[in-house]
Structure 1
Amino acid sequence: MKNYGKLVNFEFNRVAKLFAVLMGITLILQIAGVFVEARDYLNMANEKIYEEMMPKAEFLETFGQMSFLQVIRSIWFLGPIGLCVAGVAFYIFLIWYRDWVGKNTFVYRLLMLPTSRLNIFFAKITTIMIMTLGFVAFQLILLPIEIVIFKGMVPVDFRNDMGLTELVGSMPELSIIIPGSFLEFILYYGAGLLAVSILFTGILFERSFKWKGIFAAVAYGAVAVVLFIAPLLLQEFVVDGFFYPIELFVLEIVIGLILLAASIWMSGFLLKKKITV
């Protein structure tokens, strides 16, 4: 456990700069987006009411009040989130392949450490989860701050206030990133953990067998996906709704756990037996 903790700390320190840069970009762009979107709306209101002499009631009836949802739906808000998602997706591969880059490849020293090689797998997947949850936590901290800025800019008569839960529920993209319940959190991020573990196993196949490993990785991923969705396919096309929804749900959970265990076991096997130093 001590060696695992040291490896996690080491891996996170390697990505800390990227993590900080992405959070900084998110902070700057999203707050800038609040100012830009609110200012655009207020400029339009001023133009219609004070220059074109449109009554305020008519303006509100025609154009409606502004809600923070307009900010959330803008590229200013969704763009940084997409960038963070892309950053994590990119680092899923980089966290392994960077160890093989260079004349004196670092992976040799990593594999020679006096600890179980499976700890390397666990440390890397833990780092990915820390990054992901860190971005989510940062977004949860940012949202109330942005809402306060929004309320400070847009007069109460011209805005439609929405609660944080209502805002998140109105955006499917945010509902996945910020689940509405603990069960949804476990399901969404459990599925993400499973997907990362399968990708890690595929990367280790490629590192172990080179070109043959690419085909093995693709085949492994395809088999995992087919097995995971097999109950859904059976329910829809073979047994014609035989399972109750709760039974189907439990079946998916069990298959997911089996696939996760299989990925961990296979990754451990490849690290111990196929990747040599």
Structure 2
Amino acid sequence: MKFLNLLTDELRRARIFYGLLMISVLLVQAFNIGNMIIRNRQIVREGHPVALYLTDFFDSSGLYPMVIGGAAFALILYAVIIWLREWYFQGNYMYRLLILPGNRAPIAFAKVATILLLMSGLLLLQLGIFYVTHWILQMVFQDNYLGLGVLLQIAQQFTISYILFPLHPLTALFNYGFGICFLLVLMNNCILIFSYKGHGLLKTIGLTLVYDVIMLALLIGFFLSIRNPLTTTEVTTMVIVFLVGYLIIHSGWMYWLMNYYISI
């Protein structure tokens, strides 16, 4: 119940940022797609032979990668801001949460879940944009447009979108598993750095560097280990075992930081 209450509160406080982000992604892509439709419509009217694919309006447009990268950067930045806001811009809000009896870890895990939910909403919005664009192109260009009608197949036509909507389960596990690990590392660093007043600057820098170096060493060691000739089953097993262990380590560190490290 405590986690759900904290999650609801985080989502409520993210509504303005998230609304602006969703509207920005939608408007920029709508402008880009509309502009490309007008240009290609003129080419067709002039009698030039042209074969259009959905990828021409996304990966090949140049603006789409910038939108995806910008949205990802905005979520990463917001993941830092929600900690910065608690310690420096919300008065005693964080301290009131920390002095509540019981486990403090849900405070951090609610922030992690918030970012993951915001990301999920953006992915659903992107799928919707793909499908609506596909439907419009079918109506406008008819014989000149060559595209699939299945939503996930549409999404997997693109290089960038295949990272977001991978077809192979192992690829999905790899992409999103390490994405969640990155988010946990980022937030653990935020907890360490923004709570430095209770421990001093030198201790904060030292502990942060030790944590980051150890986690980076484990990651490099894993990637070196899977470079050896392995079967698909062996690689899948190694990825699953490593990701589960890696997530447990980061989550356990977050739990320890919230309950035993932060001083108020």
Please give the TM-score of this superposition, normalised by the length of structure 2: 0.87
Is 1:34–1:150's contact at 8 Å kept on the other side of the alignment? no
What's the offset of the Cα at 1:244? Answer: 3.7
**CA, structure 1 residues 247+229, in 2 after alignment: closer, same or farther (shift >3 Å)?**
farther
What one-letter code is carried by the residue in structure 2 that aligns with 1:72? F
* Aligned length, in residue pairs: 258
**CA, structure 1 residues 19+235, in 2 after alignment: closer, same or farther (shift >3 Å)?**
closer
* Structure 1: 5+ residue stretches without partners: 50-55
What's the offset of the Cα at 1:101? Answer: 1.3
The structure whose Rg is larger is 1
2:72 matched to which residue of 1? Answer: 85
Q: Separation in 1 of the partners of 2:128 and 2:155?
A: 14
1:211 matched to which residue of 2? Answer: 201
How do residues 1-277 of structure 1 correspond to structure 2 at under 5 angstroms?
2-46=1-45, 49=46, 56=47, 59-60=48-49, 64-73=50-59, 74-102=61-89, 104-154=91-141, 156-163=142-149, 164-206=151-193, 207-208=195-196, 209=199, 211-212=201-202, 213-236=204-227, 241=229, 243-277=230-264
Q: Separation in 2 of the partners of 1:158 and 1:26?
A: 27
Q: CA RMSD in A?
A: 2.3
1:52 matched to which residue of 2? Answer: none
* Structure 2: 5+ residue stretches without partners: none
Moved over 4 A (4+): none
Give identity over the alignment, percent.
21
Q: Separation in 2 of the partners of 1:28 and 1:227?
A: 41
What's the offset of the Cα at 1:179? Answer: 2.2
What's the offset of the Cα at 1:255? Answer: 2.3
Please give the TM-score of this superposition, normalised by the length of structure 1: 0.83
Is 2:127–2:155's contact at 8 Å kept on the other side of the alignment? no
Structure 2 SS opposite 1:104: coil
204-213 or 6-15, which moves further after superposition? 204-213
Q: Which has the higher contact order (CA 8 A, sep 6+)?
A: 2
What's the offset of the Cα at 1:23? Answer: 1.0
Is 2:22–2:122's contact at 8 Å kept on the other side of the alignment? yes
136-145 or 118-127, which moves further after superposition? 136-145
What's the offset of the Cα at 1:254? Answer: 1.6
Is 2:3–2:107's contact at 8 Å kept on the other side of the alignment? yes
Is 2:29–2:64's contact at 8 Å kept on the other side of the alignment? yes
Q: For each residue in 1:9-30, what CA deviation from the matched residue of structure 2 results, as whole angstroms up to 9, or x when unmatched?
A: 0011111111111111122222
Q: Separation in 1 of the partners of 2:231 and 2:221?
A: 15
